[in-house]
Structure 1
Amino acid sequence: MKPIESKWEGKDGITFQVQGWEPDGDSKALVALVHGLGEHVGRYAHVGRALTDAGYTLIGFDLRGHGKSGGARGHTPSLDAYMQDIRQFFQFLSQRYPSIPHFLYGHSLGGLLSLTYAIQYGEGLKGIVVTGPALRSALQEQKAKVALAKLLGSLAPAMTIPSGLDPQALSHDPEIIKAYIEDPLVHDKTSMGFGKAALNAIDLCFSRAKEFTPPLLLMHGKADRITYPSGSEDFVSLAREKNRDVTLKLWDGMYHEIHNEPGKAEVIRFMLEWLDNHLK
């Protein structure tokens, strides 16, 4: 496994940190990673190890306001800013990996953004893998808070509050929880602009799910208390009306980070089998 580190500058001047892992030999495909809220690409090194062992390159970038990338922590001015960041990332990747297929892989917030991106710009992608997408959470059940979040997102977009994410709900593995809490690159901040962007992404995903055309593998832990598996089930039901290549896999008893659960080897193996089948 060969580690990769690089940087690129966004159109609004933010510098983005790129991190990834290549196999020692030729790579049969590229898997582009979009991580979750408050975290960073470095937390996926073990996934990179498994994918490179199978002949894939895994490479991602720290979202604006996350990890080693620039920008106020937990803030985005709009959903479109996220979309343009991902578009620029794929332009960067196309220069480095022009001759192999490209997959998109997103977790949690990254899963939501990956679905949103695929609906709008998914042409040319070999497939999409999404885990624990932030399509539904406790916030969506409180309509007054949703309306307030959208209002404040317009009036005070840079205003920041704690995300409220419970580290204990990430994984059953205490070492994962400890590492997350002690990680200096992890933060618990969300801005009002971010909140509005996320809610807009959710609205877009459900209103345009029937337009989802790339092959999709969507996986969710049944015991996820951070993002609800019912959101994934509802999205898949809509997407399947027009798209025959949609796979939903719900993992019994697993929390939010299924790739960090004690049974993660089985999760990653299932993902690799799906990737391999979509290279045939």
Structure 2
Amino acid sequence: MTDKFSLTTSDGLQLNGASFSPPAEMKAAIVLIHGMGEHFGRYKHVIDFFMSKGYAVISMDYRGHGTSQGKQGHIPSYNQLMDDTDLLVKKAHELFNGLPLIMYGHSLGGNIAANYVLRRKPALRGLIITAPYFKLAFDPPAWKVAMSKIMAKILPALTLPTELELAALSRDQSVVDAYKNDPLVHDKISATFFINVHPAGLYPIEHAGDLTTKTLAMHGLADRITSYQGTTAFAQKNPQMIELKLCEGLYHEIHNEKEKQQVFDHIAGWLGKLLIP
């Protein structure tokens, strides 16, 4: 069963989301957070996987993404992303009261999810992050970083192309083609967005020792967008709480590779252990 909803942010934007419930008894609810420039509709097969295993799913298009309101590629502050996530988690508690909540975030969604768990300390049973944006797989030119800081003060909402290498998303060409042709996908980012999100990626690495939520961190070793070394550094800071799974040969969207069933099987196994009474 699918139910659509909208949430109103503290600055008056409407964020559109949906919840998905399997027909059988539910084990837990997954709070799904998408990545930069995309929308939760790209995760239909991921949602179907979770539901096939008895998990409900709830997600929304973040501000400036998908069908939600807000300027594409822009945020006023990182704290606003945390507040927006609060709305989604509260909605999850409302719809799935009594069920364990598990947060799942990919790429930028992994950045948001890990920061949210560490900064807001929500009542979650577990955290799953795939290819999290803790560090990029390449170093942005120093002049671009310096220019972003200046632009954030002069023209904070001005957006520029992300210059994302689309071929690095997946080795499955049909995934890349679908991304290119998706009208709800965008390639924009503001200087304010970048100077907030980029350093926020380091926060989970620096504070991983404070993590008290069981976490599964997965990353493709052939990822050219976000750094698997950053994810590894995060996991090594707290091996008691964080399980690291590195996937040989996989690109950025490990859930969209031809080996995605292996990825799903690993997640299902981890969830099964997590939810043992």
Alignment TM-score, normalising by the size of structure 2 = 0.95
The RMSD of aligned alpha carbons is 1.4
Q: Secondary structure at the match of 1:239?
A: coil
- The unaligned stretches of length 5 or more in structure 1 are none
Q: Give the match for residue 258 of structure 1.
A: 254
- Note the 1:265-276 alignment, pairs <5 A: 265-276=261-272
* Residues 1:239 and 1:245: Cα distance change in structure 2 (over 3 Å): closer
Matching residue's letter, 1:97: F
User: Which is further off, 194-203 or 266-275?
Assistant: 194-203
Question: Residue 33 of structure 1: SS of its match in structure 2?
Answer: strand
Cα pair 1:23 1:53 within 8 Å, conserved: yes
Q: Is residue 112 from structure 1 mapped to residue 108 from structure 2 by the alignment?
A: no
Deviation of 1:114 after TM superposition, in Å, equals 0.6
Give the partner amino acid of 1:51.
Answer: F
Match of 2:100 in 1: 101
Please give the residue correspondences for 1:198-277 in structure 2 after superposition, counting only pairs within 5 Å. 198-240=197-239, 244-277=240-273
Alpha-carbon distance between aligned partners in 2 of 1:188 and 1:74, rounded to the nearest angstrom:
8
Q: Is the 8 A contact 1:39 1:187 kept in 2?
A: yes
TM-score normalised by L of structure 1:
0.94
Q: CA deviation at 1:232?
A: 0.6
Spell out structure 1 runs of 4+ moving beyond 6 A: none
Report the counterpart of residue 81 of structure 2 in structure 1. Answer: 82
Matches for 1:30-49 after TM superposition, within 5 Å: 30-49=29-48
Identify unmatched segments of 5+ residues in structure 2.
none
Aligned residues: 276
> 1:180 deviation in Å?
0.7
Give the Cα separation in 1 of the matches to 2:122 and 2:91: 17
Match of 2:177 in 1: 178
Note if contact 1:153-1:195 (Cα within 8 Å) is conserved in structure 2.
Answer: no
CA distance in 2, matches of 1:19, 1:214: 25
Shift in alpha-carbon separation, 1:142–1:208, aligned structure 2, 3 A: farther
Shift in alpha-carbon separation, 1:265–1:117, aligned structure 2, 3 A: same
Aligned 8 A contact 2:205 2:230 in 1: no
For 2:257, the aligned partner's letter is E
Question: Which residue number in structure 1 is paired with residue 149 of structure 2?
Answer: 150
Higher mean displacement: 170-179 or 145-154: 145-154
Q: 1:19 to 1:55 in 2, by over 3 A?
A: same
Cα separation, 1, equivalents of 2:205 and 2:272: 28
Identity between Structure 1 and Structure 2 (%): 36
